């Protein structure tokens, strides 16, 4: 059992993503090294625009053409960064799935909603369409969509924001993938629906040993889903560890600041905003906003320090 649980599904080594733009080149993800284990739920937190979605899309090879990805990523031992698009697309249709950010722009506006979910299933299984349709309907029912089965025939523009989000969730999980990237799955959902989505994702992990990479701004979702948490700032990992450690006893000043900004902790925002990614400050990327910054922080870029028990922090003054 022990060994089973620690099987590595992804091993990511120094992954970097650059964007060629009309201005300076942007480094959106910098030297990301990380493993994702089978049946694990890993949560990615971080400031808006820090590169979370770009990292996820880089793993899934879904970035636009102006992006350049360096480094290595091994999925079940297969290197994927250099893999041909065609080979990877086959994986993406069958064992790797994604629930992308932004329901409004991710659904195909010209295709009926039910069909979009069915399509995902048909790629995966060779079932006939009747069986597929039944499966899809029962999933939509569990997500508490109203007006079933009629709603499956509606087009995306005929649905409310929260309904579209649930269609996206359904399309992501319907084929029982082995790896699922989930980007803000609960955006625009009320509490009832949010619980449903969390429960479904949990069940998927328990029943199928799916690994989930969850990107979210919602701490409650992170708390109830994640095993491990990674905190990102301006394109790099600044802290990671077990959920309880990072969410309850954060070490990095940015993680601490993020927690202090929670409503129950007083809505206290971190001063300032993060730097533009084409003008990263010298030294520690967080130092201009850090209340504890010293001269050293402005000069030298800190590496991740191992604090033991699977915990690493990018700060000179980190103590476990």
Partner 1 sequence: MLRAEHVSKSFCVGRGRNTKIQAVLDVSLEINKGEHLGLVGESGCGKSTLARMLAGLIRPDGGTVLLDGQDIQKLPVKARKEFRRKVQIIFQNPQQAFHPRMKLYETLAEPIRLFHLVETREQERLMLEEAMERMGLTTDIFGRYPHEISGGQAQRIALLRSLMLEPKVLIADEPTSMLDVSVQAQILKLIRQTTEENEIALLLISHDMDVIRAMSDKVIFMHESALNLN
160 lies in the site for ligand ATP, by CB under 6 A: yes
Q: Residue 184: exposed, middle, or buried by beta-carbon count in 10 A (0-12, 13-18, 19+)?
A: buried
According to CB under 8 A, which one of 78, 111, 131, 262 is a site residue for partner 1?
A: 262
- Distance CA(199)–CA(181), nearest Å, equals 16
| Closest distance to ligand ATP from the beta carbon of 141 (Å) | 16
Scanning residues 281 to 320, which ones bind partner 1 (CB under 8 A)?
none
> Which residues have a Cβ under 8 Å from the Cβ of 53 and sit 6 or more positions away?
101, 183, 215
Output the six-digit token pair for 102: 């932004």
Q: What one-character DSSP code corresponds to residue 125?
A: -
Contact flag: residue 159 with ligand ATP (CB under 6 A): yes
CA distances from 41 to 123, 193, 196 (A): 25, 20, 17
- Least distance CB 21 / ligand ATP (angstroms): 5
Name the minimum Å distance from CB 159 to ligand ATP. 5
If one asks whether residue 101 binds Mg ion (CB under 5 A), the answer comes out as yes
Distance in Å, CB of 160 to Mg ion, minimum: 5
The contact pattern for ligand ATP, residues 274-303, with x = CB under 6 A and - = no contact, is ---x--------------------------
Q: How far is CA 144 from CA 182, 192, 308, in A?
A: 19, 9, 43
- Which residue among 146, 161, 310, 320 contacts Mg ion (CB under 5 A)? 161
**Of the residues 1, 85, 207, 263, which one makes contact with partner 1 according to CB under 8 A:** 263
Q: Taking the complex as a whole, how short is the minimal distance between the CB of residue 57 and ligand ATP, in angstroms?
A: 8
Any idea which residue has 């990237």 for tokens? 181
Under 8 Å between Cβ of 173 and 121:
no
Say which residue the tokens 């629930």 belong to. 99
22 binds, among ligand ATP, partner 1, Mg ion, none (CB under 5 to 8 A by kind): partner 1
Only one of the segments 108-116, 151-159, 170-178, 300-308 lies at the binding site for ligand ATP (rule: CB under 6 A); that segment is 151-159
Residue 132 or 246 having the CB closest to ligand ATP:
246
Give the Å distances, CA to CA, from 43 to 20, 46, 131, 181, 220: 28, 10, 34, 10, 12
Q: What is the dihedral of CA 185, 197, 267, 161, to 10 degrees?
A: 60
Instruction: Give yes or no for residue 65 binding partner 1 (CB under 8 A).
Output: no
Q: Among all chains, which residue has been given the structure tokens 């300076």?
A: 24
Shortest CB 156 distance to partner 1, Å:
10
CB 70 within 8 Å of CB 15: yes
The reply on whether position 188 binds ligand ATP by CB under 6 A is: yes
Burial of 259 (0-12, 13-18, 19+ CB in 10 A): middle
Q: What mask of x and - would describe binding to partner 1 in positions 136 to 165, judged by CB under 8 A? A: ----------xx--x--xx---xxxxxx--
CA distance 50 to 27: 10
Burial (CB count <10 Å: 0-12, 13-18, 19+), residue 166: buried
Nearer to partner 1, 82 or 263 (CB): 263
Query: Under the rule (CB under 6 A), what is the footprint of ligand ATP?
Result: 19, 21, 26, 28, 46, 48-54, 64, 66, 101, 157-163, 188, 277
Query: Under the rule (CB under 8 A), what is the footprint of partner 1?
Result: 19, 21-24, 26, 45-49, 53-54, 64, 66, 101-105, 146-147, 150, 153-154, 158-163, 184, 187-193, 217, 219, 257-258, 261-264, 267-270, 272-279
């Amino acid at each position: 059992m022990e060994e089973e649980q620690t099987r590595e599904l992804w091993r990511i080594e120094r992954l970097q993503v650059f964007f060629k733009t009309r201005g300076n080149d942007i480094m959106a993800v910098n030297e990301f090294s990380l493993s994702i284990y089978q049946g694990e739920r890993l949560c990615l937190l971080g400031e808006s625009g820090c590169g979370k979605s770009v990292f996820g899309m880089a793993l899934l090879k879904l970035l636009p053409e102006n992006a350049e990805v360096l480094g290595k990523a091994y999925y079940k031992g297969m290197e994927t960064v250099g893999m041909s698009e065609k080979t990877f697309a086959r994986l993406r249709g069958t064992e790797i799935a994604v629930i992308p950010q932004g329901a409004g722009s991710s659904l195909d506006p010209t295709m009926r909603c039910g069909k979009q979910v069915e399509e995902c299933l048909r790629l995966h299984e060779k079932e006939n369409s009747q069986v597929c349709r039944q499966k899809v309907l029962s999933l939509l029912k569990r997500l508490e969509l109203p007006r079933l089965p009629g709603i499956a025939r509606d087009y995306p523009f005929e649905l409310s924001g929260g309904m579209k989000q649930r269609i996206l969730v359904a399309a992501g999980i319907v084929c029982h993938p082995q790896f699922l990237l989930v980007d803000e799955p609960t955006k625009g959902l009320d509490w009832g629906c949010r619980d449903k989505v969390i429960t479904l994702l949990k069940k998927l992990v328990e029943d199928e040993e799916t690994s989930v990479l969850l990107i979210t701004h919602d701490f409650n979702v992170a708390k109830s889903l994640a095993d491990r948490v990674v905190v990102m700032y301006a394109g790099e990992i600044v802290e990671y560890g077990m959920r309880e450690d990072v969410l309850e006893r954060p070490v990095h000043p940015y993680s601490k600041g993020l927690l202090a900004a929670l409503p129950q902790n007083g809505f206290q925002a971190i001063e300032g905003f993060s730097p533009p990614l084409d003008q990263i400050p010298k030294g520690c990327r967080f130092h201009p906003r850090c209340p504890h910054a010293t001269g050293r922080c402005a000069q030298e870029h800190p590496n991740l320090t191992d604090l033991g028990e699977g915990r690493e922090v990018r700060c000179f003054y980190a103590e476990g």
